[in-house]
Amino acid sequence: MNTLRKLLVPVDFSDPSQRALEDAIALAKTWGAELHLLHCYSIHPAAIDPYGLAYPQSFELEIREAAGRRLSEWSAKAEAEDLKVTQHLSARFPSDEINELAESLGVDLIVMGTRGLSGIKHVLLGSVAERTLRGAPCPVWVSRTAI
């Protein structure tokens, strides 16, 4: 990796994501790179499907708008450092969207946080960072907050 031009920073608004954004800002300032912030909001219609219920179409729109507001707040942190930032929102599964967006944008590095789940939590929940690492089209920088 000779130069970093584009960094993809997936965020879920957690402390580990905050740390990843801070790392990405430092890298972008050093290399003069642009940042692409991605948030994948989740709606689980399968959870209500067995009951024959449907959620109103406005529900997804409200979630998307709220996610967009939060993403704008986080983007403002990078913009305050005079960095070019592009925001991306998706309702898709995070690791799939991260890897496909990284490929389509020609990202040089994915910078993401991890909660560092271990034991049974890791077995049951898995890790978006781990799945991203397996399928990423570029290097992945994983920031971890102190436990």
- pLDDT tens column, 82-113: 999 999 999 998 999 999 999 999 999 999 98
- Cβ atoms of 12 and 98 within 8 Å: the answer is no
Q: How far are the Cα atoms of 30, 41, 50, 56, 67 from residue 63, in angstroms, in the given order? A: 35, 8, 22, 12, 6
Entry pTM: 0.85
Distances (CA, A) of 58 to 39, 54, 117: 19, 11, 34
What are the tens digits of pLDDT across the range 112-126?
988 754 444 444 445
- Backbone torsions φ then ψ of 87, nearest 5 degrees: -100, 145
- Segment 59-62 long-range contacts (CB within 8 Å, at least 24 positions apart): 60/91
Q: Which is the CATH superfamily of the domain at 6-144?
A: HUPs (3.40.50.620)
Tokens of 78: 């990078």
